[in-house]
């Protein structure tokens, strides 16, 4: 149950005694106002009722005392998670600052501590809304662009390999990192439908493969990520439709997740995909529309699209036989260029995100890709 609510018992990327694990153990033995705290594995409805029964001061006390628990609880109020994660980031920053002064730290270790410290400072910037944060191992993080509580449409950007707390945002090639992707998509959605309240989540709250080695060739990390993605969607506030925008290995995560995801997910769009762990869209077992795109110079096209003995991720989502709605990626450059402003790929994502069909541009030879879009 812990895994399905976003807490996973398998933490291969972090030591057993890390800060989040210690916070969780403390939470399990804690109380508020004489009442025991609920299991973090409880469903989002149970957790929402618990937090709804507390006073504002009690909620703030829990966020201050257990920031790495409250900030990651699916079911806790969104604004409270933002506050808790700000506390957690501040404490994580102080840890890295202290590490930089340790005499036994190697120059490489000191440089790494400095990079992490500066990243945590950046994530604490004014107006930033951090929905999930875990400093353990390579780090995990999710950020909301827009007003999630009031959104009429929600989009979730699911990135691929080599995404962690240090690569969550980039100064150079900003639109190849989750934060840049999400900000670009949010701006494009507002342009596509100024009257629609939208929120976009840059979601790197799963352990991604490091490089294109064995982890990237199997579905193990995708299966673990899919549990967390389902838990995120199930706990989103309101009832607004949700669209998933899945890049590279993120499309493997989405392919696994969509088989048993909330019906709120109406659309899944993949770009630069190595496969969705399926040979045909019918195997995904979902009523959500499946969209796919790939530009002509994306190196992913040279990856074998098959699955043999657990290696590989199935059919090519842009192949006609797969059955996805094929979108134009005109203007996108290489494997990471799909969210670049001014591209047809981004405009297509935005049209899907706001629920409109007029601006969707199909891939050449796929003129019927928008049929049935409402």
**Looking up tokens 């790494």, which residue turns up?**
112
**Looking up tokens 């796919």, which residue turns up?**
292
Predicted confidence (pLDDT) at residue 299 exceeds the cutoff of 90: no
Q: Which of 36-40, 201-205, 307-311 is the least confident region?
A: 307-311
pLDDT at 25: 94
Nearest residue to 356 (alpha-carbon basis) of 144, 153, 149: 153
Average pLDDT value for residue range 243-251: 96
Q: Which of 146-150, 183-187, 256-260, 298-302 is the least confident region?
A: 298-302
* Domain 138-374 superfamily per CATH: Alpha/Beta hydrolase fold, catalytic domain (3.40.50.1820)
pLDDT range class, residue 277, cuts 50, 70, 90: confident
pLDDT at 102: 85
- Tell me the pLDDT tens digit for each residue of 86-145: 999 999 999 999 999 887 889 999 999 999 999 999 999 999 999 999 999 999 999 999
Predicted confidence (pLDDT) at residue 11 exceeds the cutoff of 50: no
Nearest residue to 216 (alpha-carbon basis) of 295, 135, 136, 303: 303
- Tell me the pLDDT tens digit for each residue of 188-245: 999 999 999 999 999 999 988 786 556 666 768 889 999 999 999 999 999 999 999 9
- DSSP letter at 205? -
pLDDT at 214: 64
Retrieve residue 111's tokens. Answer: 């440089």
pLDDT at 304: 63
Nearest residue to 258 (alpha-carbon basis) of 153, 339, 156, 350: 156
pLDDT range class, residue 365, cuts 50, 70, 90: confident
Average pLDDT value for residue range 78-90: 98
Largest CA distance in the chain: 66
Domain boundaries, the chain: 1-136, 138-374
Residue 191 and residue 146 in contact, taking contact as beta carbons nearer than 8 Å: no
pLDDT at 217: 61
């Amino acid at each position: 149950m812990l895994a399905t609510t976003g807490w996973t018992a398998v933490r291969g990327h972090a030591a057993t005694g890390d800060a989040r694990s210690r916070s969780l153990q403390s939470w399990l033995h804690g109380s508020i106002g004489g009442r025991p705290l609920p299991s973090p594995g409880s469903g989002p409805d149970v957790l929402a009722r618990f937090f709804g029964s507390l006073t504002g001061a009690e909620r703030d006390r829990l966020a201050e005392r257990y920031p790495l628990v409250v900030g990651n609880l699916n079911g806790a109020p969104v604004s409270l998670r933002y506050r808790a994660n700000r506390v957690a980031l501040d404490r994580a920053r102080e840890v890295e600052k202290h590490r930089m002064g340790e005499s036994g730290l190697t120059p490489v270790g000191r440089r790494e501590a400095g990079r992490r410290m500066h990243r945590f400072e950046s994530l604490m910037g004014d107006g930033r809304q951090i929905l999930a944060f875990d400093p353990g191992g390579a780090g995990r993080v999710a950020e909301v662009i827009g007003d999630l509580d009031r959104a009429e449409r929600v989009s979730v950007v699911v990135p691929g390999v080599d995404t962690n707390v240090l690569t969550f945002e980039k100064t150079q090639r900003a639109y190849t990192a989750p934060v840049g992707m999400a900000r670009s998509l949010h701006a494009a959605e507002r342009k596509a439908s100024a009257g629609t309240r939208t929120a976009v989540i840059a979601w790197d709250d799963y352990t991604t493969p490091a490089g294109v080695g064995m982890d990237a060739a199997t579905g193990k990390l995708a299966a673990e990520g899919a549990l967390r993605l389902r838990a995120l969607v199930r706990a989103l506030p309101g009832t607004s439709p949700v669209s998933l925008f899945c890049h590279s290995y993120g499309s493997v995560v989405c392919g696994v997740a969509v088989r048993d995801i909330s019906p709120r997910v109406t659309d899944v769009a993949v770009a630069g995909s190595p496969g969705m762990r399926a040979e045909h869209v019918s195997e995904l077992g979902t009523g959500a529309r499946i969209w796919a795109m790939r530009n002509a110079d994306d190196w992913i096209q040279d990856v074998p699209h098959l699955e043999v003995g657990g290696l590989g991720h199935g059919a090519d989502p842009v192949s006609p036989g797969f059955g996805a709605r094929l979108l134009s990626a005109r203007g996108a450059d290489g494997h990471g260029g799909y969210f670049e402003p001014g591209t047809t790929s981004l405009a297509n994502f935005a049209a899907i995100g706001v629920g409109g069909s007029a601006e969707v541009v199909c891939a050449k030879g796929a003129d019927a890709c928008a049929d049935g879009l409402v």
